[in-house]
Chains A and B, each alone.
Chain A
Amino acid sequence: MNKGKIYPQYFVIIGLLVYTIFFMTPSIIGIGYSLTDWNAYNANVNFIGLKNFKEIFVESGRYLKYISNTAIFAIVTTAFKIIFGLILALILNEAFKTRNILRAIFYLPVTLSPLAIGLMFISVFRPEVGLVNRLLSAVGLDNLTRGWLTSVKFAMPAVMSVETWRLTGYCMVIFLAGLQTIPQSIYEAAKVDGANYWQRLIRLTIPFLKPSFMINIVLNLIWGLKVFDVIFALTKGGPGDATDVINTAVFFSFSMGRYGFATALGVIAFTIAMFLSFIVIRVLSRREVEW
Chain B
Amino acid sequence: MKRKIMNKILLGIIAWLISLIILAPVYLLIINSLKDRTAASLMALTPPEVFHWENYLTAIKEGRLVRSFLNSMLLAGSSAIINVFTASMAAFVLSRRRSRINKAIYYFFLIGLVAPLNYITVIRTLQVFNIMGSYQGFIALYSGWLMPFGVFLYYGFISTIPRELDEAAIIDGCNSFTLFFKVIFPLLKPVTITLLILNFMNAWNDFQTPLYILNRSTRWPMTLAVYNFYGQRLADWQLVSATIVLTVVPVVIIFIIGQRYIISGMTSGAVKG
Give the size category of A's interface with B.
Answer: 35 or more
- Complex: A232 Cα to B204 Cα, angstroms: 18
Residue of A nearest to B21 (CB): A165
When the two chains form their complex, are residues B167 and A16 in contact, meaning their CB atoms are under 8 A apart? Answer: no
Q: Which of A195-251 contact B (CB under 8 A)?
A: 211-212, 215-216, 219, 222, 225-226, 228-229, 232-233, 247, 250-251
Task: Quote the shortest CB–CB distance from B233 to chain A (angstroms).
Answer: 12
Give the size category of B's interface with A.
Answer: 35 or more
A124-B28, A129-B44, A281-B110 known; A273 vs B223 contact (CB < 8 Å)? no
When the two chains form their complex, are residues B121 and A30 in contact, meaning their CB atoms are under 8 A apart? Answer: yes
- Complex: A174 Cα to B273 Cα, angstroms: 12
* Residues of B with C-beta under 8 A to A267: 118
- Complex: A152 Cα to B110 Cα, angstroms: 39
Residue B176 lies at the interface, judged by CB distance under 8 Å to chain A:
yes
Q: Mark B23-45, 1 if CB is under 8 A from A, else 0.
A: 11110110010000000011111
When the two chains form their complex, are residues A26 and B124 in contact, meaning their CB atoms are under 8 A apart? Answer: yes
Task: Quote the shortest CB–CB distance from B184 to chain A (angstroms).
Answer: 10
When the two chains form their complex, are residues B140 and A22 in contact, meaning their CB atoms are under 8 A apart? Answer: yes
Q: Mark A118-131, 1 if CB is under 8 A from B, else 0.
A: 01110110100111
Task: Quote the shortest CB–CB distance from B226 to chain A (angstroms).
Answer: 7
When the two chains form their complex, are residues B120 and A7 in contact, meaning their CB atoms are under 8 A apart? Answer: no
User: Most A CB atoms within 10 A — which of B28, B170, B271?
Assistant: B271
* Residues of A with C-beta under 8 A to B102: 12
Residue of A nearest to B40 (CB): A123
When the two chains form their complex, are residues B251 and A11 in contact, meaning their CB atoms are under 8 A apart? Answer: no
A18-B140, A102-B16, A113-B204 known; A177 vs B273 contact (CB < 8 Å)? yes
- Complex: A17 Cα to B237 Cα, angstroms: 45
Residue A76 lies at the interface, judged by CB distance under 8 Å to chain B:
no
Residue of B nearest to A22 (CB): B144
When the two chains form their complex, are residues B21 and A277 in contact, meaning their CB atoms are under 8 A apart? Answer: no
- Complex: A225 Cα to B114 Cα, angstroms: 10
* Residues of A with C-beta under 8 A to B256: 104
Q: Mark A246-287, 1 if CB is under 8 A from B, else 0.
A: 010011001000010011001101100110110011001001
Task: Quote the shortest CB–CB distance from B150 to chain A (angstroms).
Answer: 8
- Complex: A114 Cα to B208 Cα, angstroms: 10
Q: Which stretch, B7-15, B60-68, B187-195, touches the partner chain A?
A: B7-15
A177-B270, A181-B271 known; A116 vs B89 contact (CB < 8 Å)? no
* Residues of B with C-beta under 8 A to A222: 114
- Complex: A226 Cα to B16 Cα, angstroms: 32
When the two chains form their complex, are residues A266 and B15 in contact, meaning their CB atoms are under 8 A apart? Answer: no
When the two chains form their complex, are residues B271 and A212 in contact, meaning their CB atoms are under 8 A apart? Answer: yes
Task: Quote the shortest CB–CB distance from A71 to chain B (angstroms).
Answer: 15
Q: Which stretch, A49-57, A93-101, A139-147, A184-192, touches the partner chain B?
A: A93-101
A12-B89, A22-B145 known; A277 vs B124 contact (CB < 8 Å)? no
Q: Which of A61-114 contact B (CB under 8 A)?
A: 88, 91-92, 94-99, 102, 104-114
Q: Mark B164-207, 1 if CB is under 8 A from A, else 0.
A: 00110010000010011000000000000000000001001101
When the two chains form their complex, are residues A233 and B266 in contact, meaning their CB atoms are under 8 A apart? Answer: no
Of the residues A14, A111, A173, A225, contact of B201 by C-beta under 8 Å: A111
- Complex: A232 Cα to B231 Cα, angstroms: 12
When the two chains form their complex, are residues B115 and A274 in contact, meaning their CB atoms are under 8 A apart? Answer: yes
When the two chains form their complex, are residues B43 and A123 in contact, meaning their CB atoms are under 8 A apart? Answer: yes
When the two chains form their complex, are residues B125 and A108 in contact, meaning their CB atoms are under 8 A apart? Answer: no
When the two chains form their complex, are residues A291 and B45 in contact, meaning their CB atoms are under 8 A apart? Answer: no
A116-B247, A270-B115 known; A105 vs B125 contact (CB < 8 Å)? no
Question: Which 6 pairs between the two chains have the least Cβ-Cβ distance?
Answer: A22-B144, A15-B86, A113-B205, A277-B114, A26-B121, A15-B90
Given contacts A18-B86, A173-B267, 7 further A-B contacts (CB under 8 A): A7-B97, A18-B147, A97-B12, A123-B32, A124-B25, A269-B116, A277-B110
